[in-house]
């Protein structure tokens, strides 16, 4: 018990001293997770809207794939991206393995299905509600997209936050493709895994506090969004 | 944000009415939901569609607005251009569908969809809200209004589109008596402004107050089409007599 107490005290000292290595790890974590979330939003929001609005051959299969993608085990994604980026892989010539870019790619693969699936359900619910009204105004299907995306904005933002939460807390995929290289590809989650393994509990705890703060901020943002949505949506 | 809508801009709609409905049939799963309806809607009249549940009232209104395509039969309007026809009609649902936006934003989407220029929208919105007694509600979230106010807003939205023909599907079915009277007053006002109205209702008192013509549907068939005075004085058919007496024959 006292070991945990000592570790916590050391953790606070590290945080208060703004230990440069710790800050670099936190910064890289945020850059990788935010980058992956931004890419996932760019890909997933239009994909989700398309799946909700348009009817085309293969749509059912795509919906199934996206829904399945929500539950992809990170290590499986890590392995797939590793195989793609490794020297012998199809994208090996770009030399991306064990770089932050590889970590962003892996997390984008993980997060895009989450954003797309939540966006699809948000836009589909709204369309169900709006369909006859928009049709009665003579608005064609494609022209409904901007209206639906704007009116679903709070749920779409919540979808992106859910994606960010997944990315920030994820360790398996980035450990495989990033390699957890000190000063280069070490993030909060990979560092926690490493430090805990080494028995360096203080460093691990300090990182865990920061990670918890990030997750807490996301969890505070989601109900805030919901309240804002209720004010507008009634 | 209203979004850039594919403009449905056309020239000012020509005369829509009279609208002749000829042999309208809608089928689903082998059942005839509308069975050979033929009638004519004249301009500047208020026509009330009556009939028990399942008679096809809502479906008929949706076919008249182009929301449901008939399996057979046709609608002949005075103006043959389909785009201009659509611009000249508006629809109000039993349960108003309001966007997750401000009152002004909700109306602006409808006006943008009809190609009303941006500079004209504000004036139209102000005028339409005044008509239904919702002055000063522009910035309120549309869906936070009361049930009555929401339906008044739906009427304002319909009026802002300057329709020649306004179709309403049981517009007061879920409203209290005060909100219902307000809707009836607005409809009377719209009729005085030259709007032709076709509405369905279950409220016979309302039908007596508003209708000039009555279409009485029974099991998807039009069993009686008559001026309201004649219909309420003594309908010809057995079904309509029973309906007015509150007894529904099998």
What pLDDT, in 10s, does the model give residues A211-228? 888 888 887 887 888 787
User: Is A234's CB within 8 Å of B6's CB?
Assistant: no
Residue B29 tokens, joined = 């799963």
Length of chain A: 234
**Can you list the residues of chain B whose pLDDT is less than 50?**
1-11
Q: Which of A224, A148, A226, A175 is nearest to A73 (CA)?
A: A175
Burial of A54 (0-12, 13-18, 19+ CB in 10 A): exposed
Between CA A176 and CA A156 the distance in angstroms is 30
Q: Which of B165, B186, B162 is nearest to B110 (CA)?
A: B162
Burial B117-146 (b: 16+ CB within 10 A, else e): eeeebeebbbebbebbebeebbebbbbbbe
Give A134's contacts in chain B (Cβ within 8 Å). Answer: 113
Name which of A80-84, A90-94, A199-203, B54-58 the model is least confident about. Answer: A199-203
The sign one gets for the Cα dihedral B66, B72, B78, B80 is positive
- Eight-class DSSP state of A89: S
**Mean of pLDDT values over A9-28:** 84
All domains of chain A, ordered by start, with CATH?
Answer: 2-233 (1.10.3720.10)
* B65 to chain A, closest Cα gap in Å: 7
pLDDT at A232 over 80: no
- Residue A69 has a pLDDT of 92
Q: What φ, ψ does residue B138 adopt, rounded to 5°?
A: -50, -40
Q: Which of A66, A54, A87 is nearest to A159 (CA)?
A: A66
pLDDT class of A207 with cuts at 50, 70, 90? confident
| Segments making up each domain of chain B, as ranges | 19-244
Question: Percentages helix, strand, coil for chain A, rounded to the nearest 5?
Answer: 80, 0, 20
- Residue B170 has a pLDDT of 96
pLDDT class of A1 with cuts at 50, 70, 90? low
User: Is B6's CB within 8 Å of A138's CB?
Assistant: no
User: Who among B1, B86, B100 is closest to A138 (CB)?
Assistant: B86
B230 or A201: which leads in pLDDT:
B230
User: Is A139's CB within 8 Å of B5's CB?
Assistant: yes
**Mean of pLDDT values over A108-123:** 96
CATH (residue range B19-244)? 3.40.50.300
User: Who among A132, A140, A147 is closest to B93 (CB)?
Assistant: A132
Give A234's contacts in chain B (Cβ within 8 Å). Answer: 100, 141-145
pLDDT at A101 over 70: yes
Burial A118-137 (b: 16+ CB within 10 A, else e): bbbbbbbebbebbebbbbbb
User: Is A136's CB within 8 Å of B91's CB?
Assistant: yes
Residue pair A209/A11 in contact by the 8 Å Cβ criterion: yes
- Residue B83 has a pLDDT of 66
């Amino acid at each position: 018990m006292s070991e945990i107490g000592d570790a916590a005290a050391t953790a606070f000292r590290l945080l208060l001293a703004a230990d440069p290595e710790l800050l670099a790890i936190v910064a890289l974590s945020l850059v990788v997770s935010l980058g992956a979330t931004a890419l996932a939003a760019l890909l997933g929001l239009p994909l989700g809207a398309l799946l909700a609005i348009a009817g085309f051959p293969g749509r059912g299969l795509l919906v199934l794939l996206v829904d399945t993608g929500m539950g992809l085990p990170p290590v499986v994604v890590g392995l797939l991206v590793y195989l793609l980026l490794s020297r012998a892989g199809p994208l090996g010539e770009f030399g991306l393995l064990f770089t932050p870019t590889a970590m962003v790619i892996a997390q984008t693969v993980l997060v895009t299905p989450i954003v797309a699936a939540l966006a699809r359900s948000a836009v589909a619910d709204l369309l169900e509600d709006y369909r006859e009204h928009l049709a009665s105004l003579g608005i064609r299907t494609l022209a409904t997209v901007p209206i639906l995306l704007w009116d679903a904005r709070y749920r779409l933002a919540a979808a992106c936050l859910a994606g960010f939460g997944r990315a920030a807390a994820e360790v398996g995929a980035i450990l495989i493709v990033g390699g957890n290289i000190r000063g280069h590809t070490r993030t909060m989650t990979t560092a926690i895994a490493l430090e805990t393994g080494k028995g360096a509990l203080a460093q691990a705890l300090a990182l865990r506090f920061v990670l918890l703060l990030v997750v807490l901020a996301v969890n505070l943002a989601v109900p805030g969004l919901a309240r804002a949505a209720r004010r507008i949506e009634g | 944000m209203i979004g850039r809508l594919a403009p449905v801009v056309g020239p000012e709609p020509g005369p829509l009415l009279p609208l002749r409905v000829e042999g309208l049939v809608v089928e689903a799963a082998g059942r005839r939901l509308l069975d050979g309806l033929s009638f004519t809607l004249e301009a500047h009249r208020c026509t009330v569609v009556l009939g028990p549940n399942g008679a096809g009232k809502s479906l008929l209104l949706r076919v008249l607005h182009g929301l449901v395509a008939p399996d057979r039969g046709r609608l002949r309007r005075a103006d043959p251009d389909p785009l201009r026809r659509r611009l000249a009609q508006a629809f109000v649902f039993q349960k108003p569908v309001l966007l997750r936006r401000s009152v002004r934003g909700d109306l602006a989407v409808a006006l943008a969809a009809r190609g009303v220029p941006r500079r004209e929208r504000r004036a139209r919105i102000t005028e339409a809200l005044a008509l239904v007694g919702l002055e000063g509600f522009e910035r309120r979230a549309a869906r936070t209004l009361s049930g009555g106010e929401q339906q008044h807003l739906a009427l304002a939205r319909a009026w802002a589109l300057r329709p020649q023909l306004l179709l309403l599907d049981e517009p007061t079915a879920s409203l209290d008596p005060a909100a219902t009277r307000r809707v009836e007053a607005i409809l009377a006002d719209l009729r005085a402004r030259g709007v032709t109205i076709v509405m369905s209702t279950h409220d016979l008192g309302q039908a007596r107050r508003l209708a000039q013509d009555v279409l009485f549907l029974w099991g998807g068939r039009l069993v009686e089409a008559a001026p309201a005075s004649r219909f309420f004085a003594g309908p010809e058919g057995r079904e309509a007599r029973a309906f007015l007496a509150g007894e529904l024959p099998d």
